[in-house]
Chains A and B, each alone.
Chain A
């Protein structure tokens, strides 16, 4: 280590010091005696430091890290349009109250006080008042929001379905609430605007068992921004659906969205783990709705409140495969990486099982990118990988970046140094170089022979 680098420096300072100015440091002293003692001090300090570095212990063995644990968040605010709504949605609110602390309000809402959030989840349930809340900063703080709009009634303006501040918040997230209800002339219930759909997103975290029968929907259609990797259209309409009509008779505009582009419920998974769900109709949650409606609503709400599809990592360990006392990694070393990944499902953490969890061993670019193998023997969510470090030295990262539909992003990295070979760690007596060894030693032998012959000659 660094003793041999610091030693010449300390000796150099010993030689260099007579040119420094002792007057600045010891104005009262007698300089004739000081001048002899002063050069010694910095060099002694440097020697002591170099000896301390020599003696100090090197880095420890296998490194193990754990993610901090998050607390359960149960403070929920439900924003209603009027107090009477509590009676119409008793089943849904009963479901919420079974595992959350729910507070019902219609006005006079404060989300944030003195820099802290007063709630963990907010469900805006068909509220049409212009409360002008800062929903997005609430989401950025790691909290969950569900925005449910009213279905549009006959002959009413679109503003009565959803207030403007919520429309704007939705647009910022990439979701556009259209101005008309969804209509489907081929897949509908008794009335044309009670449409049926069985298009549900195929994501295990949201629908552990996909709903078997179609749901009945009466409400606004949503349009989802394309190419946004954070948005998930959870429920979309059938291909024969469209939003509209807007306007009467000759003023009728063409539909804003058609076919499977019409989304009925959209989820947004943010990068910090919080979730936002936009639903176009409160009628989905009604007590007298069909049972598959209520089942769908419960599953979506569980996903929204981060009770499903939340991943966490723990017990990250990276070490060499062979324990031989050497702690630092070297080029072409055989390394072992293991991490435990768990998924939160409804009430508890269970081992997470996936075949495509990847580890990247990267220094600016990934040199190794391989799938982690699930450890079936332990079966508690441990994934391991054995690989060989590349023939490149530098500061590497063991990085895992796992983003899948419906799951919270699992992103972490641990830094590791990979050093080049020391001078005494290179190969010796390489078989390919035996001719060269033979040549040099034959030159040596021939010199001895030459000397014997040359000096023995008579002249």
Chain B
């Protein structure tokens, strides 16, 4: 019985998500999932083959995780339901913050990679 109920919940969630989420948020979600997958692949590679250039591993993981967090923040800011929390900040301002942070993060990660 529990398996059937879980199945039903997942189906409802998927239908609701596809219908009710704006496109922008879906885009952010896709990229978040992508960053998460990248980070896990890289971690598995490190566990199997050893962490020899540990700084390279850290830089890859940090880039993925950092961009994940920044994309989540952008998603929160671009959600129209949260407009009151951000005091009506324009979407372009939010995106410019996101772009600046991402640039800085990737710059640092490429440097740390050696």
A441 to chain B, nearest CB (A): 8
For chain B residues 53-76, which have a beta carbon within 8 Å of chain A? 53, 56-57, 59-60, 63-64, 67, 71, 74
Which of B2-10, B13-21, B22-30 lies at the interface?
B22-30
Q: Does B91 contact A (CB under 8 A)?
A: yes
| A428 to chain B: closest residue by CB | B114
Contacts of B50 in A (CB 8 A): 432
Selected contact of B106 from candidates A430, A443, A451, A457, CB within 8 Å? A443
Q: In the complex, what distance in Å separates the CA atom of A450 from the CA atom of B25? A: 12
Q: Does A436 contact B (CB under 8 A)?
A: yes
Selected contact of A442 from candidates B38, B52, B59, B114, CB within 8 Å? B38
Q: In the complex, what distance in Å separates the CA atom of A210 from the CA atom of B88? A: 108
A321 to chain B, nearest CB (A): 27
| B92 to chain A: closest residue by CB | A455
Q: Which residue, of A433, A442, A443, A451, has the highest number of chain B Cβ atoms within 10 A?
A: A443
Q: Does A69 contact B (CB under 8 A)?
A: no
Q: Check A446 against B34 for contact (C-beta < 8 Å).
A: yes
Contacts of A436 in B (CB 8 A): 42, 53, 56-57, 59-60, 113
For chain A residues 257-283, which have a beta carbon within 8 Å of chain B? none
Q: In the complex, what distance in Å separates the CA atom of A179 from the CA atom of B59? A: 84
A425 to chain B, nearest CB (A): 12
Given contacts A426-B114, A430-B53, A433-B56, contact A440 B27 (CB under 8 A): no
CB within 8 Å: A-B pair count: 80
For chain A residues 428-459, which have a beta carbon within 8 Å of chain B? 428, 430, 432-433, 435-437, 439-440, 442-444, 446-447, 450-451, 453-455, 457, 459
Per-residue contact bits, chain B 90-106, to A (CB 8 Å; 1 contact, 0 not): 01000100010010001
Q: In the complex, what distance in Å separates the CA atom of A450 from the CA atom of B27? A: 8
Q: Check B64 against A447 for contact (C-beta < 8 Å).
A: no
Selected contact of B53 from candidates A432, A453, A455, CB within 8 Å? A432
Q: Check A444 against B31 for contact (C-beta < 8 Å).
A: no
Q: In the complex, what distance in Å separates the CA atom of A442 from the CA atom of B35? A: 9
Q: Check B31 against A450 for contact (C-beta < 8 Å).
A: yes
Q: Check A432 against B49 for contact (C-beta < 8 Å).
A: yes
Q: Check A437 against B31 for contact (C-beta < 8 Å).
A: no
A435 to chain B, nearest CB (A): 5
B51 to chain A, nearest CB (A): 10
Contacts of A457 in B (CB 8 A): 23-24, 27
| B80 to chain A: closest residue by CB | A459
Q: In the complex, what distance in Å separates the CA atom of A432 from the CA atom of B95? A: 36
8 additional contacts, CB 8 Å, given A432-B50, A436-B113, A451-B95?
A428-B114, A437-B113, A439-B60, A440-B109, A442-B38, A443-B38, A447-B102, A453-B27
List chain A positions with a Cβ less than 8 A from chain B: 426, 428, 430, 432-433, 435-437, 439-440, 442-444, 446-447, 450-451, 453-455, 457, 459
By Cβ-Cβ distance, the 7 closest A-B pairs, closest first, are A436-B56, A439-B60, A433-B56, A436-B60, A433-B53, A443-B63, A440-B63
List chain B positions with a Cβ less than 8 A from chain A: 22-24, 27-28, 31, 34-35, 38-39, 41-42, 45, 49-50, 52-53, 56-57, 59-60, 63-64, 67, 71, 74, 91, 95, 99, 102, 106, 109-110, 113-114
16 A-B residue pairs with Cβ-Cβ distance under 8 Å, sorted by A, are A432-B50, A432-B52, A433-B113, A436-B59, A437-B56, A437-B113, A439-B64, A440-B59, A440-B60, A440-B110, A443-B63, A443-B109, A446-B67, A447-B67, A447-B106, A450-B31
